[in-house]
Amino acid sequence: MHRKARIAVIGAGLGGLTVAGFLQRAGFTVNVYEQAPTFSRIGAGIILSANVTKVLRRLGLEEGLIAAGIKSQSYVSRAWDTGEVMAEFVFDQASERRYGGPYVHIHRGDLHAVLERGVAPRTIAFDHQLVELTPERNAMRLVFSNGETVEADIVIGADGIRSRVRDYLLGPELPQFVGATAFRAIFPAARLNGFKIPDCTKWWGPDRHCLPYYLTGRRDEVYAIGVVPAAAWDSEETSVPSTRSQYLQSFAGFHADLQRVLEAVDGVTLWPIFDRKRNDTWSDGPSGRVVLLGDACHPMRPFMAAGGAMAVEDAAILSRCLDKFDQSAEAFRCYEATRIPRVADVQRISLENTWMRGPTDTDWFYCYDACTAPLAAV
Ligand SMILES: Cc1cc2nc3c(=O)[nH]c(=O)nc-3n(C[C@H](O)[C@H](O)[C@H](O)COP(=O)(O)OP(=O)(O)OC[C@H]3O[C@@H](n4cnc5c(N)ncnc54)[C@H](O)[C@@H]3O)c2cc1C
């Protein structure tokens, strides 16, 4: 693509900031428009597996991720009632060499602070909610809720599950509630009163699961996400306050080790889980003006801890395609052909909720390097 192309990225999430960082390094002019007035510290953590950390290393962010988060040493799957260890995955120097990167847990607020360092100063325009997207003769016109209008040659929709850019491409369609909600709580490890827990455990129940993990290398902050069935989500809010007793009640009968963790939780919130059916239209095809990445085109259930990973991989591949091809339409075709098969596998496994439940081949997922993987022939 011509380096003078004006590229607008909508959304300063994991995918948006990563694609902006790579495109800037390739010499493009990129602006990121984010609806939020600033980044806020929502009460949640995130797991970044080796296929993510090795990509973010290329933006100079790996050390920052490890300093703000924790390089996890293990992931243990345990049966909800007996506590039997069904599988254990050790993350050590040998696994880091094999996978090509560390396995990191981090507070989402801290992650955003690190990601922001991957783009040039003043790249992000906060308080810019995209409300309208219109094709002009030689560009796209973007209108924001603050009244500002800009023109761009290429628009990258990295605006998450309720993507406005997706609406433009595919027509408005609400995401679907998957019949599950997630309790989320972050609390000081001191509240465990000396009770030692592994870096990450997934407790597998028949219809629900809970995942407590550390968020810092000092192991002084814990995040516990617990997913439970729910008939409906009636609130307009993205989350509602909840309580320790509701959390405990939802995991009544689970093993004593998990009860001990849930007795320590504080500041509990409850979140609905949404996804969308698979859709393989990620761009406007021959027009070569508009393209989607991450949750904007393939939101998935969070049961493989991989939605963010897919957004980061998309970002690396899309920037490589825009760098390689003269025509954006060709770049989009290559991007879609490269990404759709892998994302479809991850979407399917996320739906099944089987990842790392027992012995699992993790190499195809963690060893993948989106910065060097072959691009599809188009
Ligand atoms: C409970 C739960 C746990 C999860 N755990 C993990 C995990 O451990 N590991 C993992 O890899 N993934 C996990 N995920 C998935 C992950 O959070 C998402 O897949 C990831 O955040 C998607 O990144 P994104 O950049 O595509 O979108 P987002 O992170 O959603 O970013 C979209 C951005 O666009 C902005 N935006 C939206 N609309 C507009 C607009 N109109 N104008 C301007 N800006 C706009 C938003 O404010 C936001 O900043 C989890 C998800 C859930 C629900």
Which band of pLDDT confidence, cut at 50, 70 and 90, is reported for residue 291?
very high
Minimal-distance CA residue to ligand 1 atom 20: 308
DSSP 303: G
Query: How many residues are present in the chain?
Result: 378
Residue with tokens 């602070």: 113
Minimal-distance CA residue to ligand 1 atom 21: 308
Which band of pLDDT confidence, cut at 50, 70 and 90, is reported for residue 43?
confident
pLDDT digits (tens, 9 = 90+) for 91-101: 999 999 999 99
Residue 313: what pLDDT?
A: 98
- How far away, in angstroms, is 272 Cα from ligand 1 center? 14
Torsion, CA 16, CA 341, CA 107, CA 10, rounded to 10: 20
CA–CA separation, 249 vs 296, rounded Å? 34
Mean pLDDT of the region 70-90: 98
Which band of pLDDT confidence, cut at 50, 70 and 90, is reported for residue 42?
confident
Q: Is the CB of 69 under 6 A from ligand 1?
A: no
Residue 259: what pLDDT?
A: 98
Ordered DSSP codes for 144-200:
ETTS-EEEESEEEE---TT-HHHHHHH---PPEEEEEEEEEEEEEGGGGTT----SB
The ligand 1 atom nearest the CA atom of 159:
34
Q: Is the CB of 59 under 6 A from ligand 1?
A: no
The ligand 1 atom nearest the CA atom of 33:
43
Residue 4: what pLDDT?
A: 87
DSSP-based three-state secondary structure for 123:
coil
Question: Per-residue pLDDT for 184 more than 90?
Answer: yes
pLDDT digits (tens, 9 = 90+) for 321-377: 999 999 999 999 999 999 999 999 999 999 999 999 999 999 999 999 999 999 999
- How far away, in angstroms, is 16 Cα from ligand 1 center? 10
Mean pLDDT of the region 18-25: 98
Q: What is the best residue among 10, 14, 186, 215 to mutate for testing ligand 1's pocket, by most ligand atoms within 8 Å of CB?
A: 14
- How far away, in angstroms, is 295 Cα from ligand 1 center? 6
Which band of pLDDT confidence, cut at 50, 70 and 90, is reported for residue 253?
very high
Q: Is the CB of 305 under 6 A from ligand 1?
A: yes
Q: Is the CB of 130 under 6 A from ligand 1?
A: yes
The ligand 1 atom nearest the CA atom of 314:
26
Minimal-distance CA residue to ligand 1 atom 50: 302
Q: Is the CB of 265 under 6 A from ligand 1?
A: no
Burial of 308 (0-12, 13-18, 19+ CB in 10 A): buried
Global pTM reads 0.97
Q: Is the CB of 290 under 6 A from ligand 1?
A: no
Radius of gyration, alpha carbons of the chain:
21
Which band of pLDDT confidence, cut at 50, 70 and 90, is reported for residue 39?
confident
Mean pLDDT of the region 259-283: 96
Question: 149 φ, ψ to 5°?
Answer: -130, 135
Minimal-distance CA residue to ligand 1 atom 37: 159
Residue 225: what pLDDT?
A: 98
Query: Catalytic residue numbers?
Result: 213
CA–CA separation, 189 vs 195, rounded Å? 9
